[in-house]
Every structure is written in C-alpha cells, then in structure tokens.
C-alpha cells in the first residue's frame, strides 16, 4: 500500500494507520467545480506526527475536513481515505458518526467557535461519548472532571460547570483537546490548534498534546503555518501548494536540505528568535487562487528556478524521491538549502538618540471600572495598564511584547487617545497629550497614526481602496492641497501597490495587500510615529516577510518611528531596536534587543524566550524550556507583591510581600523589575527599590 521510496511513509514502517490516495476535492460553483485539493497521496503511521504546512489556500484545512468526513454538500471528492479497515471516503453518515471520537478526533483552530456558548464545558467534553452510547448520562459529570484533570485544568470540578466565556483561550483549547481525546481515538487531526495562542500557552498546549499522544499511542496530523512548531514536534512534513503536496519527507531532511524551491523559500522567509538580524528573503507575488492555478508547475510564476524555464510552465511535475525527501520539481537537485547570514547586521545606531524622545510615556495607568447591579455601581477596577513608563525616539522601533491580557494593546490605544488614561502622562513631540480634547487630538494624529492587527476588518468594505487611503486626507482637509489622486497613487507605489488597483474593493485583495493598503492609509498624513498593533499576526509566513521588509524600507526612507505591539518573539527580534516585556499591566524588563534576547534577566522574559519555537529540529534535545504553570492572574485582583510570583520558579517570601520597582541591573543596559533578577542558570542578583545590590 505504501511507497517508502517516494517519501510518502518512513522506510521500514509497518502498515499505515491512515492511507490517502489520489484525494481530490473541489467545490461546485456557478462556473463549475473549483479545485481545492488536486490529487494527493500520503500515509500516517501509529504514534507518528505528520505536519502539513503551506500558505492560505493551499488545501491544508480542506484535507483535514475530508479526513473527518466533514466536507460541505457543495464539495466534490474522489480518491480513497482508509483509516485502518474503514473507508472514510465511502462511509455513510451513521458510519462516520461511529468513527468520529472512537477512531479519529478533530481539534479545530478556534476553540471559541468549537465550543457551544450555551452549554457548560463539562457537558460538551462528554457529549460525544454520551451520544455514541459509550458513557451513561449519569456518569458524565464525573467523567467530565476526569477529562479536564487529564488536560491539566485547575479546579476541574468547579470549571466543569462553567461556560466557555469563563475560560481563557488556552483553557478553551485544552478543553477542546479533552473532547478530541475522550474516546482515545487512534488519529488526531489538529488544524492550527495554537495559531491564536500566546507563546507560553502554545508551549503548554503542545506539551499537553505530546503527552496525551504518548499515553494513547495516537497518530497526529498537525496543520500549521508556524515552521518553528513544525521543527519542535514533527516526525515528517508534507508541504502543500496550490492543492498539491510539493514535498514530503522526514523533518530533519526537510529543514536541512529541502528539495522543492517553495519549501526552501518558506524556510528562508521566516524571522528567527535564535539568529541575529538579516533581511528576509521573500517569495514574490501571491499564492494562486483555486480555479486560477497556472499551467504546468503551479509555483513556477513565483519560483527563482523555474520562472524562465519552458518545461516548468508546460509540465506539472510528479513527486519523486530526491535527497532524502520526495519533491515535485523538475529541477529539485538545484534547490539551495536555507542559510543564515554569514555577516549579520549589527544593532542600528538611531539618529537623534541623544535628542528628546519623540514619544514619552510616564507612569501610565488605564483602569476600567467593574459595574454590577441595576444601578451599575462600581465594585472594582480592571488594572489593564498599571504604571507603564517608556520612550520612543525618532527613527527607532520599540516593541512591547507579552501574553494576551498584559496591556500591550491598551497601552497603544491610550497613546492614540482611543482609550482614556486614568493616571500618568503621555507626551508627543514634547507636548502633553494625555487629556487633550478630541479636536486637539485630531491635529496630533496627523503626525501619529495607527495600523490595526486585522486587515480584513480594518478596511471599509463598501468603499474602493483609493477612497479608503484618501479618507484621512479628506478628514483633515488636505486632499487637494497634497495633490489629490496623484498623492494616493504615490502612496500606493510607496507600499508596493499599483494605481491600476483603483476602483477595486477590499474583498478583491489578499490579506497582505489589505495590510499594505492599511499602511498606505496611515502614511497619507506624513506621520512621524506609527503605532503598529500586531500588523503581521494574521498573515502567512511568506506574506509576513514582505510586510516586515516593507516596514523596514519605509522606516529607512521616511525616518519613521514605530511602536510595535506583538506576541511573536521572532518577529519582535527581527524588527526591533529596543524591547519592553509586559506582564499584567507593567513593564517587567526593558533593554536593547540583542541584550534582552541573548541575556534576559527577568524570569518571565526567560520563560517567554524558552517557549518560543525555533525552526531547527536538531535543537529539540538540547533546548531548555520553562513552561509556565497556571494562567495569568485576574487584573481586577492582582496578587500582592510581584504580580508574577505565583508562576515564578525563583519566587521567595519577599516576592509575595514587596512589589519590585524597575531599575537598571548593574552596569548593563537592561531595566528590570525583579527581586531575583539574573541570567538563566547563573547565581542571581537582586534589584532593590533603589537600584541593584
């Protein structure tokens, strides 16, 4: 059944648990059937992790739905899917219901939409077993507690009676894993299970999934675009492009010596948390849309090897063994392995570093009232930002990083005047803007603009894109003064778009193009500062590289300063000059980028860096990971003393009693708020309220 030489399954393996042959999936539309998956073959063995990677639209998620028999009625499928002795592709609905949960479990990307908001979590994690008749309804409550304990949810008995909105994102994903693993299925299909999670929660979820897999011996198909995660967990990797598998093989071979130009380009385009600066190599153009795939090799219009070779445009290559993997490329032997820079860039010297800061934040607090009862009386406050001080100089990129709920975005919105500061000051260009009126802030915003995280919801869907970019100019009465449509064309050109796109609407653009439009809109008023709130979080790795390079070019050309909000530590290392680490509304460590990444001093920063996935499978064994226990405390009732002490491995009695102030550590360039700050694995120093001792 399997073909070891092709890379479909590891050599010497027994019969596969899952075998897929000739799988095609299309969707019926007005113009006919639009292909999404175009004839793929692969096997998965028991107790194996196969990762499927590729850009949006490559067919990854459609493949996952086909494996579970969850394709919609408009789908047209052919080929065979055999799970053990069961034919998934020909099974009826009743047979599929029997297979789901017992033989195959599914973990979807967004746990918030997987869980029913009207049912308590305990009922949901046992619902499948009850419906299949594997569990008596009277035994379900005890079983729910058992399952939640298995996925390390604290106070499982109490949590089982709560609703999904009362769970954090990480807890919801763990509950979904409990649901998927309840029947001890032989195969788990996980579709982007950590995409929306912070790096620390991601590490918890991946560790949990690995432990449950080891306990049950299940096989795992993990669909992801995060190549760092792939390097951490995969046994084999399948790379998809335009509905086909273009390369498949062992994870070590894929990362060390990829044979398809697309695989090599993906690996070269990612920023790395473990490497010094380099300009990212990007993949030109955009992934093709289903129904508009190029002739021959679908990758050839974007390929450095095949863009000018007639054979690539004429003949679609089949998978064939080459160099330890199987690749679908006519010229696979010519693909160069990914490289790290031999002479990486050094930290930039910021022009005007000795001048007064462009942006100065001092002891900023943003508290939101908690109101209850018919009279909406205030019974407490959520301390979203709780004493933040930070400066940004002209031409500099300062990044704020931390887990969800730490106050990053609230700080950024307070800078823009989108939320009111409770206390503290915000100065821009030497002017205190903390309590300016809306009219006064409008003038300030000509020189300070915001780029939002989600390019899909940030653009008005009923306006053509040139009007979206022109809108700030019209609001400030500058449209005609700066040249009208000619100025809009210049802005499009500045961000790598063409004025031939005028007249089109946001729905006609890809995610990366939408983000470029958002950046063009922000640049229209010639600002000095851009506040960038997770600007690449929603983008594929290849498109992310294009936007990061664009931001770098714009900064060098226009002298812009960036306040960059992110949770992706690899992206932060690539783009930053200085980094501030936030936890529960406060900055706990701040330093020059290289100092922080190579010698973090705060235990929280060290845990973040240790949890960040590294795209190098050879480093799995020697990496030291600090997986944080528990959840971030409630900002409405923060712990006494240091807010991190309940999760900190260095905590002592003083940590639960005294709140450490941020102070310089010795003769370093690092400011840290910790009683026991010090390099990881070395004797730690102490930072007292008045300095270092």
Beta bridge partners of 164: none
What is the mean predicted confidence (pLDDT) over 421-447?
A: 92
What is the mean predicted confidence (pLDDT) over 226-248?
A: 94
Give the pairing type, strands 187-191 and 377-392.
Answer: unpaired
Q: What are phi and psi of 278, to 5 degrees?
A: -160, 155
Asked if 56 contacts 287 with a C-beta cutoff of 8 angstroms, the reply is yes
What is the mean predicted confidence (pLDDT) over 180-203?
A: 83
Asked if 458 contacts 452 with a C-beta cutoff of 8 angstroms, the reply is yes
> Per residue in 31-58, pLDDT tens?
789 999 999 999 999 999 999 999 888 9
pTM of the model: 0.86
Specify the pLDDT at position 681: 65
Specify the pLDDT at position 276: 65
Q: d(Cα 225, Cα 539) in Å, to the nearest integer?
A: 10
Beta bridge partners of 40: 23
For CA atoms 621, 626, 631, 632, give the dihedral sign.
negative
Lowest mean pLDDT across 149-158, 244-253, 384-393? 149-158
Specify the pLDDT at position 328: 95
Specify the pLDDT at position 687: 39
Q: What are the extents of the domains in the chain?
A: 119-179, 260-334, 456-526, 610-692
pLDDT band with cut points at 50, 70 and 90 for residue 541: confident
Specify the pLDDT at position 304: 82
Does the pLDDT at position 503 exceed 80?
yes
| Owner of token pair 């028999």 | 69
Does the pLDDT at position 60 exceed 60?
yes
Give me the chain's average pLDDT, please. 87
In the three-class reduction of DSSP (H, G, I as helix; E, B as strand; rest coil), residue 345 is classed as: coil
Angle at 273 between CA 595 and CA 600, to 5 degrees: 30
> Per residue in 634-671, pLDDT tens?
888 889 999 999 989 889 999 999 999 999 999 999 99
Angle at which helix 511-523 crosses helix 485-494, to 10 degrees, equals 130
pLDDT band with cut points at 50, 70 and 90 for residue 341: low
Specify the pLDDT at position 388: 96
Lowest mean pLDDT across 83-92, 160-169, 351-360, 429-438? 351-360
> Per residue in 73-120, pLDDT tens?
899 999 999 998 889 999 888 888 888 888 898 988 778 788 999 999
> Per residue in 575-634, pLDDT tens?
999 999 999 999 999 999 999 999 999 999 999 998 888 888 988 877 777 767 667 788
Q: What is the largest CA-CA distance in the chain?
A: 75
Q: d(Cα 59, Cα 242) in Å, to the nearest integer?
A: 7
Q: What is the DSSP secondary structure assignment for residue 306, as one 8-state letter?
A: T
Lowest mean pLDDT across 32-46, 327-341, 476-490, 652-666? 327-341
Specify the pLDDT at position 209: 82
Q: d(Cα 249, Cα 323) in Å, to the nearest integer?
A: 10
User: Residue 449: which of 425, 476, 423 has the closest Cα?
Assistant: 476
In the three-class reduction of DSSP (H, G, I as helix; E, B as strand; rest coil), residue 191 is classed as: strand
Beta bridge partners of 397: 562
What is the mean predicted confidence (pLDDT) over 151-167?
A: 87
Please give the helix or strand (H or E) that residue 597 lies within, else none: helix 593-598
Size (the chain), residues: 693
Structure tokens belonging to residue 296: 């021959």
User: Residue 190: which of 71, 262, 106 has the closest Cα?
Assistant: 106
pLDDT band with cut points at 50, 70 and 90 for residue 342: very low
Q: CA torsion angle for 60, 62, 67, 68 (degrees, to 10)?
A: 120
Burial (0-12, 13-18, 19+ Cβ within 10 Å), 132: middle
Specify the pLDDT at position 196: 66
pLDDT band with cut points at 50, 70 and 90 for residue 16: very high
Chain centroid offset of residue 498 CA? 29
Q: What is the DSSP secondary structure assignment for residue 343, as one 8-state letter?
A: S
Specify the pLDDT at position 693: 25
Q: d(Cα 459, Cα 461) in Å, to the nearest integer?
A: 6
Q: d(Cα 428, Cα 414) in Å, to the nearest integer?
A: 12
Does the pLDDT at position 394 exceed 50?
yes
Burial (0-12, 13-18, 19+ Cβ within 10 Å), 547: buried
Asked if 447 contacts 429 with a C-beta cutoff of 8 angstroms, the reply is yes
What is the mean predicted confidence (pLDDT) over 550-570?
A: 94
Does the pLDDT at position 686 exceed 60?
no
User: Residue 313: which of 323, 325, 302 has the closest Cα?
Assistant: 302
Structure tokens belonging to residue 631: 């959840």
Specify the pLDDT at position 7: 52
Does the pLDDT at position 690 exceed 50?
no
What is the mean predicted confidence (pLDDT) over 476-489?
A: 92
């Amino acid at each position: 059944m399997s073909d070891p030489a092709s890379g479909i399954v590891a050599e010497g393996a027994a019969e596969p648990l899952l075998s897929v042959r000739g799988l095609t999936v299309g969707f019926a539309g007005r113009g006919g059937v639009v292909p999404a998956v175009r004839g793929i073959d692969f096997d998965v063995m028991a107790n194996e992790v196969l990762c499927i990677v590729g850009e949006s639209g490559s067919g990854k998620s459609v493949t996952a739905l086909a494996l579970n028999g969850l394709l919609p009625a408009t789908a047209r499928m052919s080929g065979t899917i055999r799970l053990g002795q069961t034919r998934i592709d020909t099974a009826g609905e009743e047979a599929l219901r029997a297979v789901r949960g017992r033989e195959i479990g599914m973990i979807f990307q967004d746990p918030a939409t997987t869980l029913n908001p009207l049912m308590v979590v305990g009922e949901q994690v046992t619902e499948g077993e009850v419906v299949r008749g594997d569990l008596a309804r009277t035994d379900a409550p005890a079983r729910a507690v058992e399952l939640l304990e298995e996925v390390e949810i604290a106070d499982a008995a109490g949590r089982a009676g709560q609703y999904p909105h009362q769970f954090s994102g990480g807890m919801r994903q763990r509950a979904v894993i409990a649901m998927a693993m309840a029947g001890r299925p032989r195969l788990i299909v996980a579709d982007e299970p950590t995409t929306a999670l912070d790096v620390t929660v991601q590490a918890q979820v991946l560790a949990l999934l690995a432990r449950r897999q080891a306990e049950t011996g299940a096989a795992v198909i993990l669909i992801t675009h995060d190549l760092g995660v792939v390097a951490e967990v995969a046994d084999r990797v399948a790379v998809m492009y335009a509905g086909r598998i273009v390369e498949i093989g062992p994870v070590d071979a894929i990362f060390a010596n990829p044979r398809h130009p697309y695989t090599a380009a993906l690996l070269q385009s990612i920023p790395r948390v473990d490497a010094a600066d380099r300009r990212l190599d990007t993949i030109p153009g955009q992934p093709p849309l289903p129904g508009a795939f190029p002739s021959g090799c679908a990758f050839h219009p974007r390929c450095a090897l095949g863009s000018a070779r007639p054979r690539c445009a004429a003949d679609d290559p089949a998978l064939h063994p080459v160099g330890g993997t199987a690749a679908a490329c006519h010229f696979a032997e010519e693909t160069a392995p990914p490289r790290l820079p031999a002479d990486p860039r050094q930290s930039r010297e910021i022009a005007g570093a000795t001048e007064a800061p462009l942006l100065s934040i001092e002891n900023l607090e943003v508290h939101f009232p908690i109101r209850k009862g018919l009279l909406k009386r205030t019974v407490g406050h959520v301390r979203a930002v709780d004493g933040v001080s930070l400066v940004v100089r002209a031409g500099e990129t300062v990044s704020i990083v931390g887990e969800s709920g730490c106050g990053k975005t609230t700080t950024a919105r307070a800078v823009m005047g989108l939320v009111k500061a409770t206390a503290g000051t915000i100065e821009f260009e030497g002017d205190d803007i903390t309590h300016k009126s809306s009219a006064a802030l409008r003038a300030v915003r000509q020189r300070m603009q915001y780029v939002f995280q989600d390019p899909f919801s940030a653009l008005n869907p009923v306006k053509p894109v040139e009007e979206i970019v022109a809108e700030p100019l019209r609001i400030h009465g500058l449209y005609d003064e700066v040249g009208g449509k000619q100025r809009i064309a210049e802005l499009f050109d500045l961000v790598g778009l063409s004025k031939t796109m005028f007249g089109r609407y946001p729905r006609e653009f890809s995610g990366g193009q939408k983000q470029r439009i958002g950046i063009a809109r922000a640049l229209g008023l010639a600002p000095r500062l851009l506040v960038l709130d997770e600007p690449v979080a929603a983008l594929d790795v290849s498109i992310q590289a294009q936007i990061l390079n664009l931001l770098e070019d714009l900064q060098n050309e226009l002298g812009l300063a960036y306040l960059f909000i992110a949770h992706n530590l690899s992206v932060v290392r690539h783009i930053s000059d200085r980094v501030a680490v936030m936890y529960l509304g406060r900055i706990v460590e701040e330093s020059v980028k290289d100092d922080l990444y190579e010698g973090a001093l705060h235990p929280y920063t060290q845990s973040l860096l240790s949890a960040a996935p590294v795209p190098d499978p050879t480093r799995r064994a020697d990496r030291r990971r600090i997986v944080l226990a528990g959840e971030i405390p409630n900002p409405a009732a923060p712990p006494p003393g240091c807010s991190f002490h309940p999760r900190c491995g260095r905590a002592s009695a003083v940590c639960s009693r005294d709140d450490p102030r941020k102070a310089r550590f010795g003769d370093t360039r690092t400011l840290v708020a910790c009683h026991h700050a010090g390099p990881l694995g070395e004797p730690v120093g102490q930072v007292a309220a008045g300095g270092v001792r």
